[in-house]
Chain A
Amino acid sequence: MMFKPSSPLLSGLLWKIPWRLSAPQKARQRKRLRGVDRVVDTVSAALERNGFTTKSVERWYAEMPREEEMLPKDKYTIFDKKEKKYRKGIHKLPKWTRVSQRVNPPGF
Chain B
Amino acid sequence: MFSRTTLARALALPIEHSSARSASTTFRACLHQATSTTTTTTSQPEAPLSATPRAQTSIPIQQPRFLTSSNSIPQTRADVPLNKQPVAPTFDAPLKVSQSLLELLPNLTSQKPHFITAHLHDRPYLLTAGDQLRLPFLMPKVKSGDILRFNRASVLGSRDFTLKGGAQYLDERLFECRVRVMGFESEPLRITEKTKRRRRHVQKVTSKHRYTILRVMDVKVKTAEELLEEGAVVVESADSAANVELKA
Q: CB distance A38 to B4 under 8 Å?
A: no
A-B contact number at CB 8 A: 61
Q: CB distance A62 to B29 under 8 Å?
A: yes
Contacting A63 at CB < 8 Å: which of B16, B28, B60? B28
- Of residues 1 through 25 on chain B, the ones whose CB sits less than 8 Å from some CB of chain A are 4, 8-9, 12-13, 15-16, 24-25
Question: How many A residues touch B, CB cutoff 8 Å?
Answer: 21
Q: CB distance B36 to A69 under 8 Å?
A: yes
Residues of A within 8 A of B52 (CB): 31, 34, 38
Q: Which residue numbers of A lie inside 8 Å of B, CB to CB?
A: 31, 34, 37-38, 41-42, 45-46, 62-65, 67-71, 74, 103, 106-107
Interface residues of chain A: helix, strand, loop or mixed (majority): helix
Residues of B within 8 A of A70 (CB): 35
A interface footprint on B18-50 (CB within 8 Å = 1, 0 otherwise): 000000110111011001100110000100010
Q: CB distance A37 to B35 under 8 Å?
A: no
Q: Which of the listed residues A67, A68, A103 has the most CB atoms from chain B within 10 Å of its own CB?
A: A68
Q: CB distance B31 to A41 under 8 Å?
A: no
26 contacts between A and B (CB under 8 A): A34-B49, A37-B54, A41-B54, A41-B56, A42-B56, A45-B55, A45-B56, A45-B57, A46-B56, A63-B29, A65-B35, A67-B49, A68-B40, A68-B45, A69-B35, A69-B36, A69-B39, A70-B35, A71-B35, A71-B39, A74-B35, A103-B28, A103-B32, A106-B15, A106-B27, A107-B9
Provide the bound-state CA to CA distance between A71 and B29, in Å: 14
Provide the bound-state CA to CA distance between A67 and B32, in Å: 11
Q: CB distance B13 to A107 under 8 Å?
A: yes
Kindly list 6 other residue pairs between chains A and B, CB separation below 8 angstroms, not including A38-B52, A63-B29, A71-B39. Answer: A62-B25, A68-B45, A71-B35, A74-B35, A106-B16, A107-B9
Residues of A within 8 A of B57 (CB): 41, 45
Contacting A41 at CB < 8 Å: which of B29, B36, B55? B55
